[in-house]
């Protein structure tokens, strides 16, 4: 037989304290796990895209594209259905690609020379969109001040009408700033929407 131990309050409270501490730690861990589970389970909006991007609803969308009139003295609006991209930068690229495709109607002519493509697009948080074109934009541009004005106005108006967050357009070619396309309008700074409407 083993000798009987004497009851000790000290040992009792020490074991009780250890048991209470274990319960508190387990309770805190359970609370943290529950809060984490709740936060991951609840429905949240997607985080805002980086670099000032705005998420747009998906699907088909009617857009207004501006092309030089057949007479070459003004712009005409052409409605077109396009796939509506999710991100604003993709929408900018789609709109400029549609401009480069040309009007497809008899009352207007292409604003951009054949073979011009968009290399990169960036939209900053202030609403300024940067569009980098292939070198063909400068190499193939032909025309005087009216043709240059209509090309730039076509670009700015199309972007501004379809993407209200855009307030300025910066044109680069081959990843570098260009002073002008044809010598008539400076491209060193942004083309402000308010000045090109």
The pLDDT tens digits of the residues spanning 78-100 come to 999 998 888 888 999 999 999 99
Residue 147 has pLDDT above 90, yes or no: yes
* H-type alpha helices, 126-177: 136-139, 145-162
> What is the Cα 16 distance to its own chain's centre?
60
> What's the rounded Cα separation, in Å, for the pair 36 and 42?
10
Residue 58 has pLDDT above 70, yes or no: no
Q: What is the 3-state composition of the chain as percent helix, strand, coil, each rounded to the nearest 5? A: 35, 25, 40
Show me where the domains of the chain are located: 59-196
Choose among 77, 189, 99, 81: nearest CA to 151: 99
Write phi, then psi, for 26 (nearest 5 degrees).
-65, -40
Task: Return the sign of the alpha-carbon dihedral for residues 9, 10, 14, 20.
Answer: positive
Q: Which of 31-40, 139-148, 184-193 has the lowest mean pLDDT?
A: 31-40
> What's the rounded Cα separation, in Å, for the pair 123 and 169?
9
18, with CB counted inside 10 A (0-12, 13-18, 19+), is: exposed
Q: What is the pTM of this model?
A: 0.70
Write phi, then psi, for 58 (nearest 5 degrees).
-90, 160
pLDDT (tens digit, 9 = 90+) per residue, 4-27?
Answer: 667 676 776 677 777 787 888 888
Chain position carrying tokens 């092309």:
67
pLDDT at 9: 66
Given a contact cutoff of 8 angstroms between Cβ atoms, the answer to whether 67 and 98 are in contact is no
Percentage, residues of the chain above pLDDT 90 = 58
């Amino acid at each position: 037989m083993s000798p009987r131990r004497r009851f000790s309050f000290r040992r009792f409270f020490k074991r009780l304290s250890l048991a209470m501490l274990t319960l508190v730690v387990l309770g805190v861990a359970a609370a943290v796990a529950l809060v984490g589970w709740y936060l991951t389970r609840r429905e949240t909006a997607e985080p805002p895209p980086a670099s000032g991007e705005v998420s747009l609803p998906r699907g088909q969308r009617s857009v207004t594209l501006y092309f030089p009139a057949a007479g070459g003295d003004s712009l005409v609006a052409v409605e077109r259905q396009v796939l509506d991209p999710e991100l604003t930068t993709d929408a900018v690229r789609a709109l400029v690609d549609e401009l480069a495709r040309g009007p497809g109607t008899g009352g207007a002519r292409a604003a951009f020379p054949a073979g011009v493509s968009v290399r990169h697009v960036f939209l900053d948080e202030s609403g300024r969109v940067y569009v980098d074109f292939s070198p063909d934009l400068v190499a193939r541009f032909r025309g005087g001040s009216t043709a240059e004005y209509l090309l730039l106005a076509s670009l700015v108006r199309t972007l501004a009408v379809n993407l209200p967050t855009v307030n300025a357009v910066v044109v680069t070619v081959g990843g570098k700033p260009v002073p002008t396309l044809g010598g008539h309008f400076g491209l060193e700074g942004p083309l402000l929407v308010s000045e090109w409407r």
